């Protein structure tokens, strides 16, 4: 089976490399010629553990190729859509990249194809795609699979190769059969495959992301309560999470959820639910709770600030083990600090050149943790990189005149910080 993956971003590249690892012949297609040239040289344009090795291995095995050439839309039997579906101004999903990909397919496909939609898309998109293709390419037959992707940046390769489940929405028996063949290496290992209708598959993705976002918003609100009553959020989360009905995952208090999925997917579900007259109060509350949290997170720094202070921001990406800055909690924090006249020295293990939205005369980038700490009056940890978790807290007393640490990820132990003489502010725990 030959597959062309349309869109070689975080999802498309991981899916392409992993499907090649299954033994399938894969072309990863993208409009971005620079990205494709880099990939053809065996290097990858994103930070994702294990991905570079997988790409090199499958390139040299001849199962994986990268191209900007639209004729690959006809070369393959199956076309996997993995283009972005960002947020529109009204909260709905912007389908312009998806519509562009469908028009490209209609233009270049000369034989029947199976289309697998991996992008996160609104309810009814599979039918919309089918209808559109019937109109644009009436001589051809297109079977449509809705196959939402659940990988997490930072563990994307493992998530793809060992998922909890695979969800397949299908509109014809051929579509189901094609999907079953593609995922045979996983189903034969006992990984559950859920077969369902296209719309159900589309809703599963939005519901899963909204539920996870809701857990994060919930534990963050409980963290606020902890701060007022001198309770400890880590112990509360353990106490809740040990209940098997609940579990500990996604109960980490922090600066609010961000990234390229939860913010836009909660908004898109909210938009869709309102449009069909069944608004979700829980999703609305989740969105609002997270927005308010992000707005007030800078206060933890501002409340301890003196004018002209330099703040070291440790971690710019929205989570550890990715270079993805989309909707990162660091963005509103830095924006507020800059508005208040602070100078920022940022350090991130993965960001080596400052890019938008961090281009500003008062923002510089440190090349090491030590440099950032030495130059700062306040050190704020925004991303939970391993490098930070392994840090010896003595670095603060050795390098700062009045050591002051704001820890949005609860990386350090408040008692150790207190004993060292570091003023320490964390999330949902008593300040040392």
**Nearest distance in Å: CB 375, ligand NAD:** 33
Q: Is position 84 an interface residue for ligand NAD (rule: CB under 6 A)?
A: yes
Nearer to ligand NAD (CB atom), residue 101 or residue 422: 101
Q: Taking a C-beta distance cutoff of 8 angstroms, is the pair 217, 257 a contact?
A: yes
Nearer to ligand NAD (CB atom), residue 50 or residue 100: 100
Nearer to ligand NAD (CB atom), residue 9 or residue 256: 9
**Nearest distance in Å: CB 99, ligand NAD:** 9
End-to-end CA distance of the chain: 60
Among 3, 24, 44, 82, binds ligand NAD (CB under 6 A): 82
CA dist 311 and 300 (Å) reads 12
Three-state DSSP class for residue 35:
helix
Q: Annotate 95-142 with three-state secondary structure.
A: CHHHHHHHHHHHHHCCCCEEEEECCCCCCCHHHHHHHHHHHHCCCCCE
Three-state DSSP class for residue 321:
coil
Nearer to ligand NAD (CB atom), residue 204 or residue 404: 204
Residue with the shortest CB distance to ligand NAD? 9
Among 24, 28, 29, 365, binds ligand NAD (CB under 6 A): 29
Q: Is position 273 an interface residue for ligand NAD (rule: CB under 6 A)?
A: no
Q: Is position 149 an interface residue for ligand NAD (rule: CB under 6 A)?
A: yes
Q: Taking a C-beta distance cutoff of 8 angstroms, is the pair 184, 129 a contact?
A: no
**Nearest distance in Å: CB 250, ligand NAD:** 15
Within 348-387, the residues that bind ligand NAD by CB under 6 A are: none
Q: Is position 328 an interface residue for ligand NAD (rule: CB under 6 A)?
A: no
Within 153-172, the residues that bind ligand NAD by CB under 6 A are: 153
Q: Is position 258 an interface residue for ligand NAD (rule: CB under 6 A)?
A: no
Q: Is position 318 an interface residue for ligand NAD (rule: CB under 6 A)?
A: no
Three-state DSSP class for residue 402:
coil
Q: Is position 6 an interface residue for ligand NAD (rule: CB under 6 A)?
A: yes
Tokens, residue 177: 């059969």
Q: Is position 74 an interface residue for ligand NAD (rule: CB under 6 A)?
A: no
Among 74, 77, 94, 104, binds ligand NAD (CB under 6 A): 104
- Integer CA distances (angstroms), 343 to 47, 213, 313, 335, in order: 28, 32, 10, 11
Q: Is position 400 an interface residue for ligand NAD (rule: CB under 6 A)?
A: no
Nearer to ligand NAD (CB atom), residue 73 or residue 298: 73
* Catalytic annotation, pick one of 28, 261, 342, 355: 261
Among 1, 22, 25, 31, binds ligand NAD (CB under 6 A): 31
Q: Which long-range contacts (CB under 8 A, 24 or more apart) does 395-404 make?
A: 395/369, 395/370, 396/420, 396/422, 397/421, 397/422, 399/370, 399/373, 399/374, 400/373, 400/374, 400/376, 402/377, 404/304, 404/377, 404/378, 404/379
DSSP state letter for 178: H
Tokens, residue 184: 């045979």
Q: Is position 271 an interface residue for ligand NAD (rule: CB under 6 A)?
A: no
Q: Please confirm, yes or no, whether 261 is among the known catalytic residues.
A: yes
The count of residues interacting with ligand NAD (CB under 6 A) is 26
Torsion, Cα of 90, 94, 95, 98 (10° steps): -170
207: CB partners within 8 A, 6+ apart? 269
**Nearest distance in Å: CB 249, ligand NAD:** 17
φ/ψ of 400, rounded to 5, equals: -125, 145
Active site residues: 261
Binding site for ligand NAD (CB under 6 A): 6-12, 29-32, 82-85, 97, 100-101, 104, 119-120, 149, 151, 153, 260-261
């Amino acid at each position: 089976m030959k597959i062309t993956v349309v869109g070689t971003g975080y999802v498309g590249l991981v899916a392409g490399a992993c499907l090649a690892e299954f033994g399938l012949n894969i072309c990863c297609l993208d409009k971005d010629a620079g990205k494709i040239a880099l990939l053809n040289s065996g290097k990858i344009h994103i930070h994702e553990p294990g991905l570079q090795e997988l790409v090199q291995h499958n390139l040299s095995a001849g199962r994986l190729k990268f191209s900007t050439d639209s004729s690959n839309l006809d070369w393959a039997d199956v076309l996997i859509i993995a283009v972005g579906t960002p947020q529109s101004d009204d909260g709905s999903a912007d389908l312009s990249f998806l519509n562009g990909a469908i028009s490209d397919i209609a233009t270049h496909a000369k034989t029947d194809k199976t289309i697998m939609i991996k992008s996160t898309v609104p309810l009814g998109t599979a039918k919309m795609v089918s209808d559109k293709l019937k109109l644009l390419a009436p001589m051809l037959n297109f079977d449509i699979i809705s196959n939402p992707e659940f990988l997490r940046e930072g563990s994307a390769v493992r998530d793809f190769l060992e998922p909890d489940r695979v969800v397949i929405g299908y509109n014809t028996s051929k579509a189901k059969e094609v999907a079953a063949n593609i995922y045979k290496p996983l189903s034969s290992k006992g990984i559950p495959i859920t077969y369902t209708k296209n719309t159900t598959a589309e809703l599963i993705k939005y519901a899963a992301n909204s539920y996870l976002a809701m857990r994060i918003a919930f534990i963050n609100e409980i963290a606020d309560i902890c701060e007022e009553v001198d309770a400890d959020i880590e112990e509360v989360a353990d106490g809740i999470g040990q209940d098997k009905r609940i579990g500990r995952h996604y109960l980490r208090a922090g600066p609010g959820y961000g990234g390229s999925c939860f913010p836009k997917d909660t908004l898109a579900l909210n938009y869709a639910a309102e449009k069909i007259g069944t608004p979700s109060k829980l999703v609305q509350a989740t969105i609002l709770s997270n927005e308010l949290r992000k707005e007030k997170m800078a206060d933890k720094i501002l409340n301890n600030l003196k004018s002209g202070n330099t703040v070291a921001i440790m971690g710019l990406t929205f989570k550890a083990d990715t270079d993805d800055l989309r909707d990162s909690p660091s963005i509103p924090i830095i924006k507020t600090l800059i508005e208040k006249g602070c100078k920022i020295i940022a350090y991130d293990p993965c960001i080596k050149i400052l890019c938008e939205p961090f281009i500003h005369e008062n923002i510089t980038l440190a090349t090491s943790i030590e440099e950032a700490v030495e130059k700062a009056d306040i050190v704020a940890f925004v991303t939970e990189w391993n490098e930070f978790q392994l840090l010896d807290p003595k670095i603060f007393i050795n390098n700062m005149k009045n050591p002051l640490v704001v820890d949005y990820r609860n990386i350090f132990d408040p008692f150790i910080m207190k004993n060292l003489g570091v003023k320490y502010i964390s999330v949902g725990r008593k300040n040392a």
